[in-house]
Structure 1
């Protein structure tokens, strides 16, 4: 699917891309693969925190006090930055807020004895819940009482030396509070948060506290238009709404202060940069009031920190607001997801990294791209031509007229002060009118070198952060951590030609989106905020690499090979000058360092000819290619001579003697070859064991002439048996005629009260002592004489027979000799056998003798599992 669709999508660049350098680049060069994959079960050195709350998405790291402050749903936490899971958060505060009674602190309804057990210090937990009344009002407005009608802490920053400043959605009625940083307690009075915090926990939001002023960007109320505001300042400002909106349904991602005037002679030129997405207005037809286009684009905007607004025009509005298009790879199908900045304190080296999601309008293709933008390039775009709305064509076009002076959107610097412009309120009306109608720049901001640093298919990055790392050799590399929508962290180093993903780590067992990332160089830790909790992850795990080449191939700026200890060491704790690294190429430096590890032991395998055998070989690197050598020289390829090369090892099918030999499994990566496993395979001749044979007929294995003799003998014996049987039958018939009557086998039923009886007549007539009564005579039993009556036991009970004259003796197989009722056998019903002769059982007759012989014959056999009456 990718192979067919990607070239088609790339063709859009030539036809529809905005002006700028060509962004075309073969996708196969950009689809980076993480070198190592670390599943959740193999995590080491991580620490976890989960308190009595949810949605741990707001993080504030204070390196000086080694604290990590966390804002969640209905709570704030103060954790040890050294170990967030040290258990200090378990000291739960017994105070909670009751907003229904004047926002006062009241004891929680717990056992009062618990208060005496509390430590003297304050708990690192603040409960900040919305009252039940507020939640009920929120639910009545149609909001979700399972997710939205709570107090989601969205803003948490240092306000001054003694206090923190926090804001929460508070069930769609935002509140803000100044928190005592030392005691970590809420105040008794709160501030209205509608001008500072979003009402909706799902809305995009970004905020900064700069010199006591609060700079925020979001949609503040249900019917308000998203804008950028400054509050808690003598001059409160916001963006313009008429005659056109400067912002169109904007979702804000990130903001950062860049001190461009630091150590500069141009004066107060510090700026705040905002990154967001909004509906495009410059593409297609539109109007001043609202764009009809549903296409969203990425933007970067800026305002001056020293802006005071206009005197008559743009009163309490920004006079320095400008915005520009931000593109990465495929402008029509990219969505901005996350931004981070590095070296913001030095404007000459400030640069930004942005994560985009690339999705087609049919949603058949999804990928993520990482682009880098240098501040100097952004400044160049804001110094370039403007866009304007052309009434005649009812579209946006490049402004070709004269630009007034001082340049619209500029900050007030020492140069402008020398010209008499001491603040933005002194700017001419012509300049302010131009700013009002020309907020958009004509050229887009394109990534460094005109192309993405990384393209990763089937991954959605949600957040990213980075830090510069100086290596022992001197160069400094940017190390990025990228969070995904399913709970993974990609660690990548930025190289001159792109990005190398060092490893991917599954930090959450259950898939969930990474909501925030914060790096602590002092603690050498990465803090990850998500819905279920906070994870502390070490920035590097160099001990995972066991050899010099493995350490070099990782290309981790934090890791280097120490020749003296023969171990991969952290650059932060080891002798930095002696460590070996090769970040750029990743394959040099280990030539003179002998590997002290013993080679892998040779394992023996012995199989029968024709069998299949698997030789396992685990490749620790996803970038390595498995190379199999037979007897040290012959390379094995997949599908050749019964060999199948896979990710799990080498499968040899239908083994033959020529498959015997010594097999070596190598990892071939970046020009280096490392032995991983060694096998000695022996293929033995097949000697199958004799199969069990069924009993054969006599003569089956004899010669043909002997077999013929056996067949003739069997035929003669068969003929003799037939003659003997005929003779016996003839004698029996003669004997029956002499007795004066003949009997036939007859099977019939006679009615009885409560059941039915089956009559079985014998051929030979009477038992000893039996008198003939004629064919139609009836005995005392009401049945024909000489009959054997069988009554099924499942029917209605029959009249009990007279007791036998003598107690019956036991046969050898445990059955009573000729009983009136046979015992239940294997779960079958009792069956009544009675020979009727005037109702009195007679002694043993031919039938009884035959039955006895049958039972005697079966005494050594196992009874049938489910014997039925017909078999008896």
Structure 2
């Protein structure tokens, strides 16, 4: 039997049996750079949903009804998958009671994060009901929910074998067939095996379990592998998890353990009923193998997704560690994985050759040989499974190396879909969420993985906890602590030219020559006319008619010796900026005053030879695209006026120039005469009818609510006024008859000083005027008022007197406590 089956099994084996030198490559050869970076501010076409809950981590998409079901902390939501933010959602509040929260806190759990009901399991149970399980403050509960009414039932089921206690514990679960639940859970230490162990439980059997040592589950999936069975009992369930290493030695089950954790993949048959005498109520087909990506000792399995699980021959698994890789594991369980088990001896022809087979395996049906269920398997097979559940050789990447290595990024979740292109090939498209709220969109190529773009989907950094793809809605749903975001699977309109469209290498995008636009392939009737080059990313746009319009020519003019920046935005992180002068001369950084940067070209200390036409190109993947063009003109700087040379003897001026000089001199002379007359009039202005000349001195006058500086006349009478003997206001209502300088802003005036001394013995009070002036700012103002008191002696010029005062101030000691502010 195995002589015929062996070539068939090897044909499915795409993983390498033993890690070889090709598994490890220098990190610099694997580090991938996203082609485009889209910050949060540039997002377009997004939808948001946020209810009165937190931790939107459980997502279930139902394409037929266009509903997105969400499990969060203390709530479930049913959203419109077409637009999750349209306000038509339904909500179920499912909180843990205060008593349950108090008991949880008394057990030492965190009442801020753990002592709530976190919905961790949400699956379709049948045509009318959903099945949901929550941690319920470390006392798990499950409920069958009416999908149409979207309401909780009146009774609940205990969920300790179906849902984890800890909301942060790794968990995965499946409902397969009619009321058959496959789930992983974290029981109390005494519930099953010794130690704190997670289990794989099948609830249609009371205790049908296979213990796993300290496991942390990540992912599970049903893979359709039945070929000749109507009931599908050859279908397999695959589990991905991490556990403490407990590797087998040669010849017996090893008891040694190492302290580090390793990644595993396990497989069981969907129709496994357990053994009859050996392995009763335990899996007879359970096998597990180690997963290795790049650095086995330091890898931690973060997330797994499967593509094309409905056809086993083409099923691929993608996993994110610190790295991302791909496995095809179907043939591993029947082939090379057993290579190092020395205890295994081939049985005579007609009996199963090794453990792990389901009871209906391909052409050589075991049922035809009398093995109708797992309970009919021989003791030799069951004994070996009991002692050796771990495959001898690890499963390594299908290509012998990781698909992607990305530094400074921690991936938290990934999902993928297969996209068929207009030309025929189908490509795997992956979306990877990071711990700080970014999504990396990548396509798997024959040469490796190409990251099309990285998108910041949350303004505040937070972990991406779940990702779900809807090809029907052309949407990606992102679950995070703060809410749900709906993004389009592609943003083809970002690519403005044919080159930009094909360089993106997005399977969803193609250049339409008829509309000169990059279109989503699923929206175009004539898909075959679209231009794509996913594998190479540089062919198809050779004709200038499809490259799009050239950028507009911009002009720049600068004085000689100045600097000028010619901006050029490079949208692609993979492109190299190339600057050409006059279409041929390439410019490099540091050459002749040129500085090439990410923002453009900086020309320093411009000279006439810098004038010309500048073109900014993006060189990427062998293509050159014009992004910006400039015309730069360097003008000579305006020279400083040179000193006039003495006129040569005999030099003659033109008649019109002589006339202009004569008129200018006459006008200036007349203006000087007018100014001199005005100054003479002001200086010698007579006072009143008595003809006394005035001489002013500086003094201080107080007034209520403020302070002022007054200019007193020595003569005691103002010009044009008659001595009416009034001690009050003079003519015109001038208070006290003095010229007062009143600040608009000031402090209450100090007590009035003694009368000012004669002008021959001026005091330090003269500096009060500058002091008050320093305090005037903002909306301050000055009011001048003239006094009627004084003696008319001395010169009449106020300017002369003020000059004497200021001159004397230079030799006078400053008064104390002056204001230190200045204007």
Q: TM-score, normalised by structure 2?
A: 0.70
State whether residues 20 and 446 of structure 1, in contact with CA within 8 Å, keep that contact through their aligned partners in structure 2.
no
More off after superposition, 274-283 vs 837-846: 837-846
Is the partner of 2:731 in helix, strand or coil?
A: coil
Secondary structure of 1:603's aligned partner: strand
> CA distance change for structure 1 residues 673 and 407 in 2, over 3 Å: closer, same or farther?
farther
| Alpha-carbon shift at residue 492 of structure 1 (Å) | 1.0
Is residue 31–residue 457 contact of structure 1 (8 Å, CA) maintained in 2?
Answer: yes
Report the Cα offset of residue 866 of structure 1.
Answer: 7.5
Change (3 A) 1:239 1:45: closer
Q: What CA distance in whole angstroms lies between the structure 2 residues aligned with 1:4 and 1:639?
A: 70
Between 278-287 and 600-609, the greater mean CA deviation after superposition: 278-287
Whole-angstrom distance in 2 between the partners of 1:870 and 1:138: 66
Among candidates 407, 427, 436, match of residue 486 of structure 1: 436
CA shift, 1:353, in A, is: 1.0
> How far, CA to CA, are the matches of 2:643 and 2:705 in structure 1?
56
Q: Name which of structure 1's ranges 584-593 and 165-174 shifts more when overlaid on structure 2.
A: 584-593
**8 Å Cα contact 2:59-2:479 kept in structure 1:** yes
Q: Deviations over 1:815-866 (max 9, x none)?
A: 9999999999999999999999999999999999999952799999999998
CA contact (8 A) 2:695 2:797 kept: no
Distance 1:717 1:403, change over 3 A: same
1:40 maps to 40
Q: Which residue of 1 aligns with 2:754?
A: 803
Q: Distance in 2 between matches of 1:752 and 1:606?
A: 63
- Asked whether the equivalents of residues 334 and 359 of structure 1 are also in contact (C-alpha less than 8 Å), the reply is no
Distance change in 2, residues 1:17/1:864 (3 Å): farther
Cα distance between partner residues in 1 of 2:728 and 2:239: 121
Per-residue CA deviation, residues 43-92 of structure 1 (Å, 9 max, x unaligned), is: 00010010110000100000110000000000000000110001113778
Aligned residues of 1:285 and 1:394 also touching (Cα < 8 A) = no
1:665-685 per-residue CA deviation (whole Å, 9 max, x = no partner) reads: 011111111111111222233
**Aligned pair in 2 of structure 1 residues 797, 512: CA closer, same or farther (>3 Å)?**
closer
Deviation by residue 1:749-805 (Cα, 9 ceiling, x = unmatched): 999999999999999999999999999999999999999999999999999999989
Cα distance 1:563–1:134, how it changes in 2: closer, same or farther (>3 A)? same
**Secondary structure, counterpart of 2:783 in structure 1:** strand
- Supply the distance in 1 between the matched residues of 2:144 and 2:723 (Cα, whole angstroms): 123
Greater shift in the superposed pair: 698-707 or 809-818: 698-707
- Point out the more displaced range, 700-709 or 643-652: 700-709
For residues 810 and 3 of structure 1, what CA distance do their matches in structure 2 show? 132
Deviations 1:483-508 (A, max 9, x none): 11111111111111111111111111
Q: Deviations over 1:308-346 (max 9, x none)?
A: 112222221111111111111222222111111111111
Structure 1 residue 279: Cα displacement: 1.3
What is the rounded CA distance, in whole Å, between the counterparts of 1:716 and 1:91 in structure 2?
92
Which stretch shows the higher mean deviation, 283-292 or 695-704? 695-704
**In structure 1, how many angstroms separate the alpha carbons of the residues matched to 2:518 and 2:284?**
55
Cα gap change, 1:763 to 1:287, in 2 (>3 Å): farther
* CA distance, structure 2, for counterparts of residue 737 and residue 841 of structure 1: 12
Aligned-pair CA distance for 1:741: 38
**Given that residues 627 and 665 in structure 1 are in contact (C-alpha distance below 8 angstroms), is that contact kept between their aligned partners in structure 2?**
yes
Compute the displacement of 1:474 (Å).
1.0
1:555, CA displacement in angstroms?
Answer: 1.1
1:10-38 superposed Cα distances (whole Å, 9 cap, x missing partner): 99999999655630223333211111111
| Cα distance change on mapping 1:407 and 1:436 into 2, 3 Å | farther
| Equivalent pair of 1:767/1:846 in contact (CA under 8 Å) | no
Distance 1:136 1:847, change over 3 A: same
**Are the equivalent residues in 1 in contact too, given 2:745–2:775 (CA < 8 A)?**
no
Between Structure 1 and Structure 2, how many residues are aligned? 771
Cα distance 1:761–1:89, how it changes in 2: closer, same or farther (>3 A)?
Answer: closer
Gaps of 5+ in 2: 188-214, 328-334, 353-363
| 1:236 aligned residue | 180
* Residue 513 in structure 1 maps to residue 443 in structure 2: no
- Alignment partner of 2:99: what SS? helix
Question: For 2:689, which of 723, 726, 738 is the aligned residue?
Answer: 738
For each residue in 1:712-769, what CA deviation from the matched residue of structure 2 results, as whole angstroms up to 9, or x when unmatched?
A: 9999999999999999999999999999999999999999999999999999999999
| Alignment counterpart, residue 256 of structure 1, candidates 212, 221, 225 | 221
Q: 1:828 to 1:302 in 2, by over 3 A?
A: closer
Range with greater deviation from structure 2 (672-681 or 15-24) = 15-24
Bigger Cα displacement from structure 2, 746-755 vs 731-740: 731-740
Contact 2:767 2:814 in 1 (8 A): no
Does the C-alpha gap of structure 1 residues 199 and 691 become closer, same or farther in structure 2, counting only changes over 3 Å? farther
CA 9–647 in structure 1, closer or farther in 2 if over 3 Å, else same: farther
Note the C-alpha offset of 1:584.
1.0
Q: How many Å apart are 1:646 and its aligned residue?
A: 1.0
- Contact 2:699–2:766 (CA<8 Å) still a contact in 1? no
Contact 1:287 1:394 in 2 (8 A): no
Provide, for residues 356-407 of structure 1, a one-character-per-residue CA deviation record: whole Å limited to 9, x for no partner: 1159999xxxxxxxxxxxxxxxxxxxxxxxxxxxxxx9999943x5579988
| Cα-Cα RMSD | 11.9
Distance 1:850 1:279, change over 3 A: same
Q: Is the 8 A contact 1:801 1:820 kept in 2?
A: no
Q: How far is 1:615 from its partner?
A: 0.9
Looking at structure 2, the residues matched to 762 and 276 of structure 1 have their Cα atoms a distance apart, in angstroms, of: 103
User: In 2, are the aligned partners of 1:252 and 1:276 still within 8 Å (CA)?
Assistant: yes
Task: Name the CA distance, whole Å, in 2 between partners of 1:869 and 1:295.
Answer: 72
| Equivalent residues of 1:256, 1:274 under 8 A apart | yes
Q: Does the 8 Å contact 1:813/1:859 carry over to 2?
A: no
Aligned-partner Cα distance in 2 for 1:694–1:604: 40
Q: How does 1:267-666 map to 2 (within 5 A)?
A: 268-282=233-247, 291-357=256-322, 398-399=340-341, 415-569=365-519, 571-592=522-543, 594-595=545-546, 597-666=548-617
Distance of 1:741 and 1:87 partners within structure 2 = 92
CA distance in 2, matches of 1:9, 1:610: 76
Give the 3 Å change call, closer, same or farther, for CA 712–438 of structure 1 in structure 2: same
Q: Distance in 2 between matches of 1:281 and 1:624?
A: 48
1:568-607 deviations in Å (ceiling 9; x for gaps): 11x3444212111111111111223514743222222222
My pick for the range that moved more, 190-199 or 824-833, is 824-833
Q: Per the alignment, do residues 844 and 490 of structure 1 end up closer, same or farther by CA in structure 2, a change over 3 Å counting?
A: closer
TM-score (norm. length: structure 1): 0.66
* Structure 2 CA distance for aligned equivalents of residues 860 and 811 of structure 1: 12
Relative to structure 1, the CA distance from residue 774 to residue 279 in structure 2 (aligned partners, 3 Å threshold; closer, same or farther) is: same
Aligned with 1:857: secondary structure?
Answer: helix
Change (3 A) 1:255 1:685: same
Contact 2:267 / 2:285 at 8 angstroms: preserved in 1? Answer: yes
How far apart are the structure 2 equivalents of 1:158 and 1:61? 10
Question: Which is further off, 542-551 or 49-58?
Answer: 542-551
* Structure 1 residues 869 and 722, CA gap change in structure 2 (3 angstroms): farther
Closer, same or farther: CA 83–720 of 1 in aligned 2, 3 Å: closer
How far is the alpha carbon of 1:661 from its aligned partner?
1.4
Offset of 1:533 from its aligned partner? 0.6
The structure-2 alpha-carbon separation of the partners of 1:314 and 1:650, relative to structure 1 and needing over 3 Å to count, comes to: same
Aligned residue for 1:823, secondary structure, equals helix
**Is contact 1:558–1:572 with CA below 8 Å preserved after alignment?**
no
User: Is the Cα contact below 8 Å between 1:767 and 1:842 reproduced in 2?
Assistant: no
- 1:812/1:856 contact within 8 Å kept: no
- In 2: Cα distance, 1:714 partner to 1:196 partner: 109
Q: Deviations over 1:640-690 (max 9, x none)?
A: 111111111011122222212111101111111111111122223333768
1:191 corresponds to which of 154, 157, 175:
157
Q: CA deviation at 1:621?
A: 1.0
Deviates more, 1:791-800 or 1:17-26: 791-800
Q: Find the residue that maps to 1:836 and give its secondary structure.
A: coil
CA–CA separation in structure 2 for the residues paired with 1:695 and 1:289: 111
Contact 1:473/1:577 (8 A) holds in 2: yes
User: Bigger CA drift: 325-334 or 859-868?
Assistant: 859-868
Q: Comparing 528-537 with 677-686, which one deviates more in the overlay?
A: 677-686
Q: CA deviation at 1:154?
A: 0.3
